[in-house]
Amino acid sequence: MKKFSAKPLAFSSSVVLATLIAVASTSPVSADDIKIGVPLSLTGPVAFAGTKMKDAMELAFDEVNSSGFLGTTKLVPVFADDRSNQPQGISVTQQLVLRDKVSAIVGYTASNICQASLPVAQELKTPTLQADCVVPGLNKIGNYVYSAVRPSDVFVEQTIDKLVAARKIKTAAILYQRDNPVFVNLQPIVAKAFERNGVKIVANEAVTSGGDSDFSAQLTSIANGKPDVMAILLFGGQVGPAMVQARQAGMKDTIFLGEQNFDSVEVRRVAGPNAEGSIFPSHWFAASPVPANVKFVKDYTERFKREPDTFSANGYNAVWLLAQVIKKAGSGDREAIRTAMETIGDMDTVFGTAGKTRFEDRQVTLTPFFFTVDKAGKAVPAFDKP
């Protein structure tokens, strides 16, 4: 793919548009607008991610509509705030489907809300592309529910394997958030991955709430074990403070290991020099030369005066994936969209190095990059290649 968005008058964009049309189905699209439900966590503990997703998704919807990607048809997003709360997630899903009569849903921010809400979308037979939830098992919910990201467990396991192979790692500790299914699920996986690599777990401490910012007791216990590496499995908003407090607790040389939420300008800004040397996997690489990604980073930065991060990329990418599915479906009919999800084949994406992905077992195929944070606070490829 050359570009996701195209400005009709620009020659280069026209070429891109032609490429996109060639890749996707040429089915005619309806002249009617298509309503898309966009449930996100815009308030509450996960709002730090949901608000970034919303900005990027608005950008993507604007690009889809202004580029004429769907002909004269416009996608009309109906945003809804699940307040980082499971019952509210179920409620907004029902509201979007039954009251707003959306053709499809794209969104969701937090894994626990995905776990509660996606079965509702399945029951109401509404094609849904979840954009940000990385807990395993969501692809087993049913044939209306697809994932635009992959579960984080395999990525983190691969990171541990590579880290242990590259460095002299003998001991490890885990600090995890007990209140969220992603981290509760990741904690034993991370422990097993360390043990499988012959690394001794010296401490395993839980944080009880997503609202906590005081990790002093847990980090004092962990520092006592002098771990070579500490896995920080916390909400993005907690990661930066945890890194600072860990250094203050005496872990001067400990490597911090995390999942995709480390890939955030905010985490690195809050942690400052304390983040140096951190290791994490991500399916998105801001500096990826994939043209769609270059355009995304440029447009996002210009529009919002800040750099995008993984959450922004997830939101942006999911809207464009859905746009391609709807193009293939040729209408806003829910059954047609679901069928298109099953049969679409290759899609253009901002993720990866090839700029292509497809649905396999109802989730996208992706290969992770592995990053470390350098002295300047930038995420740069770890190991020998990204």
Partner 1 sequence: MLLQQVINGILTGSVYALFALGFNLVLGALNILNVAQGAIFTLSAFVAYYLISIYGVPFPLALLAATVAGGGINVLLELLVFRPLRSRGGSAMSSLVASIGASMILISVAQLMSGAQVERFPFGTLPEIQWTEFGMRISFTQVLVLVTTMVTMAGTYILLNRTRLGKAIRTIAFDERIARMLGIPTVSVARWTFFVSGALGGLAGVLLGIMYNSVYFLMGEPYVLKGFAAIVIGGFGSVTGVIVASMMIGLLEVFSTVIGIGTFRDVVTFGVLFLFLLFRPNGLFGRDEEVRP
Q: How far apart are CA 378 and CA 273, in angstroms?
A: 10
Backbone φ and ψ of 65, nearest 5°: -75, -45
Does an H or E element contain 155, and which? helix 152-166
- Minimum CB separation of residue 306 from partner 1 in Å reads 9
Return the number of the residue (109 or 331) whose C-beta is nearest partner 1. Answer: 109
Joined together, the tokens standing for residue 201 give 């777990």
- Minimum CB separation of residue 260 from partner 1 in Å reads 17
- Minimum CB separation of residue 109 from partner 1 in Å reads 11
Return the number of the residue (78 or 244) whose C-beta is nearest partner 1. Answer: 244
- Minimum CB separation of residue 346 from partner 1 in Å reads 35
Residue 147, classified by CB atoms within 10 Å of its CB into exposed (0-12), middle (13-18) or buried (19+), is buried
- Minimum CB separation of residue 58 from partner 1 in Å reads 14
Return the number of the residue (259 or 309) whose C-beta is nearest partner 1. Answer: 309
- Minimum CB separation of residue 39 from partner 1 in Å reads 16
Q: How far apart are CA 261 and CA 257, in angstroms?
A: 11
Return the number of the residue (263 or 266) whose C-beta is nearest partner 1. Answer: 266
- Minimum CB separation of residue 161 from partner 1 in Å reads 28
3-state class of 107 per DSSP? strand
- Sequence-distant (6+) residues with CB within 8 A of 304 are 55
CB atoms within 10 A of CB 269: 11
Are 88 and 64 within 8 A, CB to CB? no
Return the number of the residue (60 or 223) whose C-beta is nearest partner 1. Answer: 223
Q: What residues line the site for partner 1 (CB under 8 A)?
A: 42-45, 47-48, 50-51, 178, 205-206, 208-209, 211-218, 220-221, 224, 237-238, 240-241, 244-245, 248-250, 266, 269-270, 272-273
Q: What is the DSSP string of 39-96?
A: EE--SSTTHHHHHHHHHHHHHHHHHHHHHTTTTT--EEEEEEE-TT-HHHHHHHHHII
Q: How far apart are CA 143 and CA 371, in angstroms?
A: 34
Return the number of the residue (181 or 241) whose C-beta is nearest partner 1. Answer: 241
Return the number of the residue (16 or 251) whose C-beta is nearest partner 1. Answer: 251
